[in-house]
């Protein structure tokens, strides 16, 4: 295995971690104004992710840094082409972070209501835009022979990409609802369960629709060298979402959460399998695709980065596991009075 391929796999792993962990953060933020009927209940909902949300966002920074260091041409083309969309995502994430920190600094009702809705929009906008970005990367965007994006913002808002955005929005919302069934008690737990029931079939349906459209808009089901395997993995993601709904019926919250996490894993793996060895697809000419070879750093840089990454990654994962173990208890309204 070449270092180029290894770093492609590592970037895939980082995005799996980001979407799995930040996915339920987004879902909780989206659901907080609706599941929490009072200020105390909304605080309890937010408290379920209070100790971990900022650590979860670090996975995005790490993934972006890995792309910048390992595949600078990929980073340059993607961030310049998707500039406005990424700017909107960044504004949403900043507003969300500020809202988490400042929501409880003032007891006035309109103050807290404002920040509750900032948390909602700061979670919903990135959840939607990630699906739009993924769909465009897999389908292809206008990239010329000089690796420059030559389209506009509205090139990204095609029907296929919008379906992809709705898919990630609903899947992350379901992921958050299932997470809340594990982390809350009493009436909040029942509302989270009802929300998961309501969203479950919709998330599975839109995800399956996205897979069907992908069969026509990409080479997911006819990938040179891999055949139908990327498509099969994508279908498994839809089946995992169906399993989530069935597991909830049996009150197996932990397994339901694992099931939504597996669905997210399958989606990311399917996207990266569909791309490889490409990292961005040119809709103008296949010869202008960005690949793990023409978009990569020099071999020496990849070698040094590999040593650092393989040394640090186990430490980071161990610390992450310890953090979730420490904060594994359910959140109660009594605890939230002091949050």
Q: Is the pLDDT of residue 272 over 80?
A: yes
What's the confidence (pLDDT) of residue 140? 96
In degrees, rounded to 5, the angle at the alpha carbon of residue 267 between the alpha carbons of residues 301 and 274 is 60
Q: Is residue 19 part of a domain?
A: no
Q: Is the pTM of this model over 0.85?
A: yes
The total of structural domains in the chain comes to 1
Residues 6+ apart with CB under 8 A from 224: none
| Domain of residue 263, residue span | 29-336
247 located within any domain: yes
Q: What is the pLDDT of residues 42-57, one digit of tens each?
A: 999 999 998 889 889 9
204 — pLDDT class (breaks 50, 70, 90): very high
Q: Is the dihedral of CA 64, 318, 241, 256 positive or negative?
A: negative
Tokens describing residue 50: 């209070």
Task: Give the model confidence (pLDDT) of 219-261 as tens digits.
Answer: 999 988 888 999 999 999 999 999 998 999 888 999 999 999 9
Q: What is the pLDDT of residues 156-175, one digit of tens each?
A: 999 999 999 999 999 999 99
User: Is the pLDDT assigned to residue 338 strictly greater than 60?
Assistant: no
Q: Establish if 212 belongs to a structural domain.
A: yes
Asked if residue 106 belongs to a domain, the reply is: yes
pLDDT value of position 332: 66
On whether residue 9 sits in a domain, the answer given is: no
Residue 57 lies in a domain: yes
What per-residue confidence (pLDDT) applies to 335? 60
Each residue's pLDDT tens digit, 297-318? 999 999 999 998 888 888 888 9
In a domain, 21, yes or no: no
Per-residue confidence (pLDDT) for residue 42, from 0 to 100: 93
- Residues 244, 246, 248, CA angle at the centre, nearest 5°? 70
- Give the residue-averaged pLDDT of 316-330: 86
Average pLDDT of the chain is: 92
If you average pLDDT over residues 258-287, what whole number do you get? Answer: 96
Which residue shows structure tokens 């180029």? 4
Within a domain: 8: no
105-140 residue pLDDT tens: 888 889 999 999 999 999 999 999 999 999 999 999
CA dihedral 200, 201, 203, 208 (to 10 degrees): 140
Banded model confidence at residue 291, pLDDT cuts 50, 70, 90: very high
């Amino acid at each position: 295995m070449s270092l180029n391929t290894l770093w492609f796999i590592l970037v895939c792993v980082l995005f799996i971690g980001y979407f799995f962990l930040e996915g339920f953060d987004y879902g909780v933020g989206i659901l907080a104004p609706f599941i929490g009927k009072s200020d105390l209940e909304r605080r309890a909902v937010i408290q379920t992710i209070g100790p971990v949300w900022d650590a979860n966002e670090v996975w995005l920074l790490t993934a972006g840094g890995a792309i910048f260091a390992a595949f600078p041409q990929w980073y340059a083309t993607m961030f310049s082409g998707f500039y406005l969309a990424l700017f909107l995502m960044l504004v949403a994430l900043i507003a969300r972070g500020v809202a988490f920190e400042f929501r409880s600094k003032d007891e006035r009702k309109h103050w807290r209501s404002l920040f509750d809705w900032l948390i909602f929009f700061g979670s919903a906008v990135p959840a939607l835009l990630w699906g739009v970005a993924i769909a465009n990367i897999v389908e292809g965007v206008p990239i010329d022979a000089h690796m420059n994006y030559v389209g506009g913002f509205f090139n990204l808002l095609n029907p296929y990409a919008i379906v992809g955005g709705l898919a990630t929005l609903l899947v992350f919302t379901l992921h958050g609802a299932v997470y809340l069934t594990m982390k809350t008690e009493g009436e909040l737990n029942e509302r989270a369960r009802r929300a998961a029931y309501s969203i479950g079939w919709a998330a599975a349906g839109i995800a399956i629709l996205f897979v069907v459209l992908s069969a026509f808009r990409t080479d997911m089901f006819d990938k040179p060298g891999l055949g139908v395997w990327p498509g099969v993995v994508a279908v498994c993601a839809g089946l995992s979402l169906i399993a989530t709904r069935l597991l909830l019926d049996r009150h197996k919250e932990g397994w339901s959460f694992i099931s939504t996490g597996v669905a997210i894993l399958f989606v990311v793996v399917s996207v990266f399998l569909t791309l490889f060895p490409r990292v961005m697809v040119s809709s103008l000419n296949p010869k202008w695709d960005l690949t793990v070879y023409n978009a990569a750093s020099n071999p020496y840089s990849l070698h040094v980065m590999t040593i650092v990454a393989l040394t640090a990654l186990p430490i980071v994962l161990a610390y992450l596991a310890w953090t979730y173990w420490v904060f594994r208890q359910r959140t109660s309204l009594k605890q939230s009075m002091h949050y």
